[in-house]
Each structure stands twice: as structure tokens, then as C-alpha cells.
Amino acid sequence: MIKNFKWLLLVSLTFVACNSDDDVATIVDSSDGLPLTSGTANFSKYVALGNSLTSGFSDGALFKKGQEGAYTTILAEQFKLVGGGEFKIPYTNDNIGGLLFSGQVNPAFGPRLYFNGSAPVPVAGTPTTEVINPAVVAAGPYNNTGVPGAKSFHLLSPTYGSPAGLANGTANPYYVRFAPNGTTSVLTYAMSQAPTFFSLWIGNNDVLGYATSGGDGTNPITPVSGAAGVGFDGTYAALITTLTSAGAKGVVANIPYVTSIPFFKTVPYNPLTASVLGSGNTAVGVATINALNAQLYGPLKQALTAFSAGTRINLLSTTGSNPLLIKDESLTNLSAQLTAAFTPTLGAQTAAFYGAVFGQARQATAADLVLLTTQSAIGAAPTAANSGLGVAPPAPLDKFGITYPLQDKYVLIPTEIAELATATKAFNAIIKSLADSKGLAFVDANAIMDQIDKGGIVANNFTMASTFVTGGTFSLDGVHPSPRGYAFIANKFIEAINAKYGSNLKGVDVGNYPILYPAVLP
């Protein structure tokens, strides 16, 4: 019915050419025209803590060029102009991205994406970065302790860098790469370097993990309250209290709402036009729609209407954009009622299957957020593993989003979006309160990303927007910043540091950074 739907929604995008990323220049004069000063801050030993954002993760992978362009790297370069010291980074081996586990490639880790003119695709090549490499550990300690995938409480875990924990998921391979041993937490590792200044941007994954899994329960939101290592309040307090215990100053950032990033804003809730359903042939699509209305949508709506739930399903339009068919677990389950209604025409066994499939089905609305990764599932055949019923449905119920509801992991529904908003608001209140109580510089990343999403922000005569691929702020994974996005973020951190500590760092010109990395990097 639909061929190659995965990137069909992107074929009309016009690629915006990048600036060359060679010889990126930094602006070294001060923000006020006076001699550079660090103000009341001491940047001689800067240590950065956080997650993938801190490490420079981009385009779905961690790779050397991305690490070189991390906002933390840019900060360190500016700090050096006012007495900052060496900033050591646990560089990966290549610009392919990905990790090797005893020589074996794990598809969950890289390679990075690039834009081929019509779609994001993986770069060619095999990763060369081994997770277990004693030489990398010996070359430490590293000032950049950012660990992709880390949640707030992971920074307190003494076994987060243990090789033995890789098998059961209690350790993180990105931290295992450079951790001094299997018993030192990220926080302890950072403090062992006696930092005079730190940056901490953590908590994003505490909500983002739940969001990118479609709120299906496999990656729950971190509780707001609880002891250190359990609740966000106790954990964040432990992090800040420890980091400032020896008099270090620092800068922290809060958490953007997930609704402001392209991962949740790119795929429309209603992509099913006659052209799409006909794989480019509108006449075929119209015929398909008429058949779907007669054989599936019409009978479903009639049955649901009898149970006062007729608004869940409407007939498809031959001239408009039709919504995806999804499962909404917040709805009353009408499986038994539908089974009874369909039994006279379909027989008991088939009717029971239809009842199970459509008991909580509805068409998506503008209030739902379809995940970027769901593009590859729309129109695909459900399997026993992802159908939600443990079996692969037969035709005609073999088209996700069209004749079979997209399951929970593919879509964020309003109740899940509300959960995320509530948690993010609570986390941000905790971050701001602790930043104020300890006299730290504060970056309102949530407000900044909201502004980028709602019209954009002009920086160095370039508009930073959230549009996928062409907006300039986000990379091709729809979550992490682009090279220009990281430069923009670095400047916002510098603004906050200047305001708090009386320094006058100017930052960098974002126009000197590309909006996307090319396929081939040196």
C-alpha cells in the first residue's frame, strides 16, 4: 500500500548549505571592549558534568568532530583566554561514530547520520572506538565527564563505569571507556580533579527517556522527590552540594520541554493523503480510501457510535490529510463490546481479534506527538514483537497507522505529554532554587528552546530555528544540537557566566559553525 514511507515526508525539503567547518574561528575580544577578565570566577580547573549534551553527541552518535564542537569545549577555549587550564576530552577514535565491544559492532551505538540531499542516512564505515581500552583510561583524568544517556542519579552511581555492569545494563559504555575503575562515580571522578569551576547540565534524560520511548513505561520518569540516587530533588542537591563544597563556582542549566525539539514536532499526526496511500498515485489512493471506509473505518465507526464512542473514528477523506490510527491506553477499553458487535458478521474468533486490536483505538489529533522514529513504522507490517498482542496480524490488519493502531511506544498522547510537563516543571524549580542558593550562574535553556521553537532567535545574523534538517539548531537525530546549535548554547552559557561573575567573555560567532556535518570528515 505504501512504499518507502520512511523518509517520504522529507523529500520536499530543500537542503540549506552549510558553512565550511574547517578552521572554525573564535572571537577573542571581550564583550564590552575592555581587557578580558574572569571576574570573580576562577577557570584554572574547569570540569564539565552532564549527559550527551555535555559530551558533544550529535547526529545520533558520539564522534571526534562532534566532541571538538561541544559547548563545553567552546567554553574551555574561552576560559583559556582568562587563565583557564587544559581541558582534556576522552576523544573517540574516528568521525564515524559508534562503539566496539571486543571488536563487535553494536547497532545501538552509531554510526552517525548525514543528510544525503533527501534524507538522513548513516555514514559509511565501521566504528573503531573500543569500549574497553586501558590506554584511554590511563590518559585521564578528563575534564569533560559528560556521559551520553546519563540520568541525574547515574552521576552518583559508583558502578556506572564498571565493565562488569555492561552485561546487565547497570553500567554505561561511554563512561566505562574513561572511568578510572569500576567503583568510582562520575561525581567522585570530577571532584578528584579539584575543580575551581564546573558546568552541570543534567536531568534531560530523566524525562527524555520516557518521551522517546513513547511513554510506554519501559523508561519511567525519575521521581521528583526522594533521597539522593532516587528522587531528582535529593540527587540534584547532592550533586550541587558536593560540587560547591570546596568553594568552586559554576554554571547550571535547566531542562527544555520535550515539545520544543524536532524529534516530537516533525512527523505530522495526519500524513495519510490519497497520494501517500497510493504511493504517489492519487487514483490508487482514492480507491484505497474508499475500500478502507467500506471495509474497516465505516464498520468501526458504526459499532463505536453504538457505544457512545463514535468520535474515536471518522471516515477517511479522499481530498484531505487523514490522521494516523493509534492506540490510546487512557481510553475505556471497548474490546468486549466490539467483539460482541462483530461476532454476527465476522465469527467469534475473528471478532475477538478485532475487539482486541481496536478496543482502545482512535485517530490521532493535533494534541498527539508522533515520534520522529515512527516514520519508519507507518505503513509497515506489525510483528509479534511490536503488535502489542504477541502475534503478527494478518491482512488487511497489517499496516501500522492505517489498518492497525500504532502502539504506545510510537506516539505521545496528551496524558503522557502532561506527565512530562509536570515533571519538567518540578525539576526546573529544583534546579533554579539550588542555583540561587549556591550563587551559581543559571542558563534558562527551557525558555531559550521555547523561543527557538516559536519563531527562532537571531544570532550573528543567522536565525536559530527548530525546523528539522534546515533549522540550524538541531542535528539529524532531532534531539541533540547541530555544530551551530552547540556554538549558540555555548554563547548562552557565557552570557550567564558574565552576568553572574562579572567576566566579559565574548563567545563565538555562530556563523563560523555549520548547521550540519558533511558525509566525510577529516
Q: Is 459 within 8 Å of 510 (Cβ atoms)?
A: yes
pLDDT at 13 over 70: no
Q: Using the structure block, give the residue that is written with the C-alpha cell 540527587.
A: 235
Distance of CA 522 to the CA centre of its chain: 27
- Report the pLDDT value the prediction gives residue 14, as an integer from 0 to 100: 35
Nearest to 372 by CA among 3, 10, 109, 4: 10
Report yes or no: 506 and 30 within 8 Å, Cβ to Cβ: yes
Mean pLDDT, range 78-97, rounded to an integer: 98
Q: Are 161 and 175 in contact (CB under 8 A)?
A: yes
Segment 101-150, tens digit of pLDDT: 999 999 999 899 999 999 999 999 999 999 999 999 999 999 999 999 99
d(CA 41, CA 443): 16
Residue 154 has pLDDT above 50, yes or no: yes
Rounded to whole angstroms, the Cα distance separating 223 from 511 reads 40
Q: Locate cell 510506554: which residue?
A: 216
pLDDT of residue 52: 98
Q: How confident is the model at residue 7 (pLDDT cuts 50, 70, 90)?
A: very low
User: What is the pLDDT confidence band of residue 32, given thresholds at 50, 70 and 90?
Assistant: confident
Classify residue 261 as left (phi > 0), alpha (psi -120 to 50) or beta: beta
Q: How confident is the model over 25-37, as a mean pLDDT?
A: 74
More confident call, 518 vs 5: 518
Q: What is the pLDDT of residue 1?
A: 41
Are 57 and 27 in contact, with CB atoms under 8 Å apart? Answer: no
pLDDT tens sequence across 308-356: 999 999 999 999 999 999 999 999 999 999 999 999 999 999 999 999 9
CATH topology for the 8-265+414-512 domain = Rossmann fold (3.40.50)
What pTM, to 2 d.p., does this model score? 0.93
pLDDT of residue 29: 74
Q: Backbone phi, then psi, for 422, in 5-degree steps? A: -60, -45
pLDDT class of 5 with cuts at 50, 70, 90? very low
Which residues have C-beta within 8 Å of that of residue 14, sequence separation ≥ 6? 470
Which of 240, 243, 157 minimizes the C-alpha distance to 192? 243
User: What is the average pLDDT across 507-522?
Assistant: 96
Q: Does the pLDDT at position 16 exceed 50?
A: no
Task: Give the cell for residue 267.
Answer: 512527523
**Does 196 have pLDDT greater than 90?**
yes
> Across residues 25-44, what is the average pLDDT?
83
Q: Reply yes or no on whether the pLDDT at 23 is more than 80.
A: no
Average pLDDT, the chain: 94
**Average pLDDT for residues 478-498, to the nearest whole number?**
98
- Domain boundaries in the chain? 8-265+414-512, 279-322+325-363+369-412
Q: What is the pLDDT of residue 9?
A: 41
Instruction: Tell me which residue has cell 475473528.
Output: 350
Question: What SS3 string covers 290-359?
Answer: HHHHHHHHHHHHHHHHHCCCHHHCCCCCCCCCECCEEECCCCCCCHHHHHHHHHHHHCHHHHHHHHHHHC
How would DSSP label each residue in 89-146? ----S-SS---EETTEE-TTS---EEE-SSSEEEPSS----BS--HHHHHT---SB--
Q: Pick the residue with more confidence: 264 or 17?
A: 264
